[in-house]
Each structure stands twice: as structure tokens, then as C-alpha cells.
Amino acid sequence: MTLSRLPRLFVYYRGSAFTTHYHKYKYAQIMRHYAVVATILSLLLTLSGCKTDITFAIPGHPLLFGDEPEYSKTEYPIVLVHGLYGFDDIFGHEYFYQIPKVLRNGGAEVYIARISGTMTPEVRGEQLIPQLEEFAAVSGQSKFNLIGHSLGAPTIRYVAAVRPDLVASITSVAGANFGTDVADAEFLDFPPTRLITGLMGNLLGHAIDFVSQDNFEQSILATLDVMSVEGIAVFNSKYADALPSALCAADGNSLVNGIYYYSWGGNVATTNRFDPADLVQAAVTKLIPGDDDDGIIPRCSMQLGHVIRDDYKMNHADHLNWFLGLKATDAPYAPSLYRAQANRLKGLGL
């Protein structure tokens, strides 16, 4: 399916404005119906195992506008590093949905890391390092702009600390830089529940590996331990570069040891009632005190280096453009944030 086959109403052509013949209420009604259709098609395609290049987008989505040929063309390649239970591609659905495509359209050289979906940042970082060395051999470049989502943020921070020669910049997207209260949930202190969590969590990790054709060691309990208050304190004492002086201070150094550090995130748990991921985040956010989180990670935990913003009206999955770009009506599209960051790095000669 291509955009040309979608109803003409849904295509926002370059240089034209949405027709004034439709009142605002009519536009909203149409978008609600379209969101339902897009979600259903997404689930059917995923369940069917079909490999697809279909791009669903609604008016205003950057994927409909093409791109400036070199807008995202950074000096050093970009490497996208997934978070907990992440993957590169499952049945045609990317973890960073459509984001590599948008970056490449703007001239960027983009690689996708393949590392364990669980484990500690150190273990995942050690898995990433040889891949960076392979990417360097392929690209001819010696450094990379690393972008990590969620658990991917402390993972790439570890790499920057132990192999700074491979890193030009670090960008944390909804990163768990100060852990998450989810890892300190009381049920994890009860041995039987902890055992079940470990077994089921590892099984899920291996299942994701199987369908994504990977085979990594898994330990959800190792992940939860390091993401707890005590665990992340130990981790951050070893790898403190660009962290703020205190939780929520947002004053981390943007340049440390020749490496630039950036971060952004959101603070809304649910953003679109048609997005299946919102159901999960609506449940998980109840484990986090207050309401200043993205459904998985507290807002203050996301801060690292130069904080671009930590209050986007986006939840944890929205930063990945899940599902099919569904989002809050007044939130930015995830691909546009990655494009802007690539252009920012380009401006620094990175």
C-alpha cells in the first residue's frame, strides 16, 4: 500500500493547506476513525507476520513531506540503541518505527544495535562495543552519534565511559538515567513473586530474541536490580559523566571528555486511546509516585547533559513512534525530534 492509494483526504500535499471546507469538528471526527483503522491494520499485519513497508500517517506527519537531502547528514554515523525488551525488527515492525527511514531520507548513515533485551547496562554496553567496531570498519568512520532509548541511555553512557574513542555524542531519549520506581515495586521483595518475575521476564526476552533472530543472554532481575534506587546509585557513581548535580536539577554538563550529551523525554503516561501501548503504560505508571512520568520512567530520571525538553506530551512508547505514529494531538511526532537532533549534531560538526 502506498500513500497514493490512501483516501485523498488523508494526504497532506506539500505546499497546500488542509481544505477549509471541513470544519474542525469534522476533521477531528475523521482523524478518530482513521486512527481506529490504522491501529487495526497494524495489529493484523503484525499478527500475520507480513513484511511490509506500509507507512501510515495523518495530516502533518513529517513522513509525508519528503526531506531536505542533507538535513540529517551528520559527520559521524548514528547508532540507535534500544531499551528493555527491544529489538531491531519483528515481522516488519521496527523498534524505532520509521525513524531510521526518516533520518536516512535526510542523508544520515544509520545503524541499529542488536543487543540483549534485558541484562545490565554494562553487559549490554559490552555487546555494543564490538558492533561499533564493525560499523567503523564498514563506514570508515571512527566515532558514532549514539542515541539510546530507555535502558539504552545508561547502556550508551557506559560505552562513552569505557570507550570514548568510539563516541562523538550521546543522546538519551526517555532514558532511565536515575532508574525507575517500577524496579522498587514491593512485590519484587517477596521471593516467590521475584522468582516468577524472573522466569516470565526471561521467557519474554528469549521469545523476542527468537522472533527477531537473535540469541542473547537474558536476566530481567539483573535489569530491575540496577534500575532500583540502590542499583542506579552504584551505577551512576561509576559512570557520572553529564549527570545533573542532583535529581531534577537539569544542570548536567553538555560536553564531557570531548563527548556531547543531550536528552529529551515526556511526562504523560497515556496520550492516545487508540494506542495499545497506552494500556500497558496506564497500568505501570501506578507503580510510580506522583504523575510526572511517561508511564515507565520518571521525568527527572530522563535528564542528562543538555536537556532539550523533558515535558513533551509523549509517553514512553511515543518516543519510538509506536504504534503507527499515533500520539497526542498537540505532541510532536517522534521522527521529527530525531531529525532535529541529527541536524543539531550536524551543526556541531558531528
Catalytic residue set: 150, 294, 316
Q: Give the DSSP H or E segment for 259.
A: strand 259-266
Query: What is the amino acid identity at position 262?
Result: Y
Long-range contacts of 15-18 (CB under 8 A, 24+ apart): 18/59
- The residue length of the chain stands at 350
CA separation for the pair 294, 83 (Å, rounded): 14
- What is the DSSP code string of 73-124? --SS-EEEE--TT--SEETTEESSTTHHHHHHHTT--EEE----SSS-HHHH
Strands 167-173, 110-112: pairing is unpaired
Taking only Cα atoms into account, the Rg of the chain, rounded to an integer number of angstroms, comes to 20
Instruction: Extract the C-alpha cell encoding 135.
Output: 560499523
- Asked if 198 contacts 176 with a C-beta cutoff of 8 angstroms, the reply is no
All residues at 6 or more sequence positions from 210 whose CB lies less than 8 Å from its CB, including other chains? none
CA separation for the pair 90, 270 (Å, rounded): 24
